[in-house]
A and B are shown apart, each in its own frame.
Chain A
Amino acid sequence: MQFYQALTVLFKRELLLAFRQFNEVLNSLLFFILVCSLFPLAMTPEATTLIAIGPGIIWVAALLATLLSLNRLFRVDYLDGSLEQLLLSPHPLSGLVLAKIIAHWLLTGLPLVIIAPVFALLLHLPNEVMKPLWLSLLLGTPLLSLIGAFGAALTVNLRNAGLLLALLIFPLYVPILIFGAGAVTGALAGLGYAGQLAWLAALLIGGITLLPIATAAALRMSIT
């Protein structure tokens, strides 16, 4: 089997498995929606406050939703043994891992990107910031999946890895949070936001290049 064939097969398998268990995909989306709607209840429904904290709420909710979805990424494959088959295949593991990460992003990151403008409306964010919000999420959520996959690979064979995973990856998420929410707040203040988006794009390119290698190394380490 050629490398690209293996990639397509793996990619299709991931999507198929996810669609068979579609409620799991919906759960993380539902979680995102719930977190976003808890903030106005906890603080104040006033538009001025919501505008000020809105970008932060959306980004933190995206972070948490990604964290919760990471369990599915390698854990299920580890338990049923198919992860070992991936490791044994003659193809470069980092490429296969990247295919899994892209599938994960399509199922958890992309829905957030699509639904986020609705929440921007509910949080009274003005129309001008829709574009930076949308672009920053589009560039930032794949990074969340990439870094999260690294953390999930490090902890794949540990019991109760949930909190440990948060401790491992949240410090690494800091730049994404700053640039992502910063682009939106910058646009709210009438400033340019191209710089933050350029940084996110640069981080994304660096992440796609390096993180699958680190993730593959972590997987090989976890399963010996």
Chain B
Amino acid sequence: MYAFLYKLASPKKFYQMAGQLIPWCSGLAILLIGYGLLGALVLSPADYQQGDAYRIIYIHVPSAFLSMFIYLMMAFCALLSLVWRIKLADVVLTASASIGAWFTFLALITGSIWGKPMWGTWWIWDARLTSELILGFLYLGVIALKSAIPNREQKDKASAILVLVGSINIPIIHYSVYWWNTLHQGATISRFAKPAIAPSMLYPLLSMIAGFLVYYVIVMLIKARTEVLYRERRSTWVKELFK
């Protein structure tokens, strides 16, 4: 296990393994999102209250989940980078930041489109919307900090520290905003309670979430591979690769 992880942490090995992994992941993502879309648009019935408009949930919930998951992933990478000095963690963190920002944007946009017919307004200062918006600002802060620092090592370390501090702050922000104002419907899927959603809607939704997750892994690996090549551009194995 450790030997495997150790191997994976070397840029060359990571580059090769990621290259082999991407086609498999792509197949899996097509399967998961394909089934999810089929279930979402054809098989599952319309909602008794929201009609067909609820179907945006199949994009909205996976995006919102991914926006939070990617930040957690980045916080984990920041810890790996700061404590164990694993260079690859910085690569993954760098590759993840912009994807996370885009998923946050997607969750906000789809939420806004969903909110117009359901709540009668594009935007409302509701707790979940607001904390998603602030999450977006946190992502933009990390990206802005990265682009402002010229030195690469300093860039990696600064963003790792910022992501760690932000990850401690996220639950505080979430709950402070929650007590401040809430209108949003409760969480649909919870681990601890029976889901408040029919199975015919639940399975496509879970499949979409898994599909989005695999999609994130694919894009992240592609970006990370490019990043590894750029960082290792002076090493012999990269030079041999592009002879």
Contact = CB atoms under 8 A, between A and B. Distances in A.
A171 B158 contact: no
A154 B176 contact: no
Given A168-B145, A178-B180, A203 B161 contact: no
A221 interface: yes
A151 B89 CA distance: 23
A101 B148 CA distance: 25
Contacts of A161: 148
Contacts of B141: 167-168, 171
B169 to A, nearest CB: 5
Interface string A157-191: 01001001001101110110011001000000000
B140 interface: yes
A53 interface: no
A75 B10 CA distance: 38
B137 A170 contact: yes
Contacts, number: 65
Interface string B143-163: 011001100011001100110
A224 interface: yes
A176 B158 CA distance: 24
Contacts of A164: 144-145, 148
A211 B172 CA distance: 15
Contacts of B179: 178
A214 B144 contact: no
Contact of B138 (A171, A210, A211): A171
A179 B176 contact: yes
28 contacts: A150-B165, A154-B145, A158-B148, A158-B149, A164-B145, A167-B144, A168-B144, A168-B162, A171-B137, A171-B141, A171-B166, A172-B165, A172-B169, A174-B173, A174-B176, A174-B177, A175-B169, A175-B172, A175-B176, A178-B176, A179-B176, A203-B172, A211-B165, A217-B161, A218-B161, A221-B157, A221-B161, A224-B154
Interface of B: 82, 134, 137-138, 140-141, 144-145, 148-149, 153-154, 157-158, 161-162, 164-166, 168-169, 172-173, 176-177, 179-180
Interface of A: 150, 154-155, 158, 161, 164, 167-168, 170-172, 174-175, 178-179, 182, 199, 203, 210-211, 214, 217-218, 221-222, 224
Given A164-B148, A167-B144, A171-B166, 15 more contacts: A154-B162, A158-B148, A161-B148, A164-B144, A167-B137, A167-B141, A171-B137, A174-B176, A174-B177, A175-B172, A178-B179, A182-B180, A199-B176, A217-B82, A221-B158
